[in-house]
Amino acid sequence: MKAVKFAVIVGASALVLAACGSKPTTSSSSSTSGAAGGSATTSSSKAFTACMVLDTGGVDDRSFNQSSYAGLTTAATANPAIKPSYVSSNSQNDYAPNLTAEVNKGCSTIIAVGGLMGDAVKAAAAANPNQHFAEVDASSSGANVYGMEYNTAQGGFLGGYLAAGMTKTGKVGTWGGLNIPPVTIYMDGFYEGVQYYNRTKGKNVQVLGWNESNQKGGTFSQSFTDQNKGKTISAAQVQQGADIVFPVAGGAGLGAGAVAQSSGGKVMVIWVDTDGCESAAQYCPYFLTSVTKGITDSVDKYVTAAASGAFPTGNYIGTLQNGGTGLAPFHTFDSKVPATLKSELDQVKADIISGKITITSPSQPK
């Protein structure tokens, strides 16, 4: 993947912002026009209203909504001038009205959470060129929109390699919330990681629920909130022989945790987005690890920059190299993961970063 380069404007006081060492391009203005001709001053001595429009699932979804708002509150804790707020979306029909309502409030910046909001953000940004926007899980769609994307195929590759090395049945499963790139990029990486393990080890670990060569196929719950559906899908994969399940479905993935819990330790789960042992601690004993997405850090840095008057523009892409994706600690499984497998994971990570290992997921951000 090509590295993303950013330039920092004069007047930003040499502020280093982008996650894990990357620098976002910033505008030179110290204030931005708000809604209906109003203005939102970004001076550190005045309030900076950072408004967030969440996707479905609520602010405590144990996944991308929760991670995004955590980034906003982290920035506000460090800088009391930042005043955070959020509005939830109950369905995709709420995206445009919620964005419009936040524009009309005169927010200093509006952060949209989720790639499904892309069209609504693009339209709102075009209609309000003086309003600053940012979007999680989407690329920039305008000069006034900062895109935050994450190449979680890289982290997912490590998760797949780990699962292939830990399975006792020779079968692992994955399933998603919806068949959209922010979901399938994880599943692609997981699938590729298993195939790489098979090639290098002469094994034949099978992946249930997804085959990267068929981007229109796969198993999906059609929901990021329906835990019962997640439980049904996970149980079906376990019945087919999977002893490790990788759900990419937000809160619906908690159904996999319930299945693992009821298995009496025979089934493990690899969580996504956040460290599951922190966001869904009740299932920590069954989480082998989590494939993380650095949403909290990138949102924090965006809002901190914007509040200083140096609004980031363009795109940020989180990678293994800059810490925008990766594996969480093994927690209760740390002693059960062989030292040789841990060493192999370190080498695979290094080889992905160096380009020796090429990931082919079509959902990777450019």
Instruction: Please indicate, yes or no, whether residues 260 and 137 belong to a single structural domain of this protein.
Output: no
* Cα(297)–Cα(145) distance, integer angstroms: 18
Tens-of-pLDDT digits for all 366 residues of the chain?
A: 333 333 333 233 333 333 333 333 333 222 232 322 233 333 345 799 999 999 998 999 888 899 999 999 999 999 999 999 999 999 999 999 999 999 999 999 999 999 999 999 999 999 999 999 999 999 999 999 999 999 999 999 999 999 999 999 999 999 999 999 999 999 999 999 999 999 999 999 999 999 999 999 999 999 999 999 999 999 999 999 999 999 999 999 999 999 999 999 899 999 999 999 999 999 999 999 999 999 999 999 999 999 999 999 999 999 999 999 999 999 999 999 999 999 999 999 999 999 999 999 999 998
Decide if 13 is inside a domain.
no
pLDDT score at 45: 52
259-308 tens-digit pLDDT? 999 999 899 999 999 999 999 999 999 999 999 999 999 999 999 999 99
Q: Is residue 97 domain-shared with residue 225, that is, in the same domain?
A: no
Range of the domain at 345: 152-293+335-354
Neighbour count for residue 234 (Cβ, 10 Å): 32
End-to-end CA distance of the chain: 7
**Residue 17: exposed, middle, or buried by beta-carbon count in 10 A (0-12, 13-18, 19+)?**
buried
Residues 219 and 136 reside in one and the same domain: no
Say whether both 122 and 74 belong to one domain: yes
Residues 105 and 182 in one domain: no
| Domain total in the chain | 2
Query: Are 268 and 159 contained in the same domain?
Result: yes
Average pLDDT of the chain, as a whole number: 89
Asked if residues 46 and 106 have their Cβ atoms less than 8 Å apart, the reply is: no
Question: Are 341 and 192 within one domain?
Answer: yes
Q: Which residue is listed with tokens 């969480």?
A: 328
Return the CATH number at 127: 3.40.50.2300
Rounded CA separation 23/15 (Å): 9
Residue 345 lies in a domain: yes
pLDDT per position as a tens digit, 219-257: 999 999 999 999 999 999 999 999 999 999 999 999 999
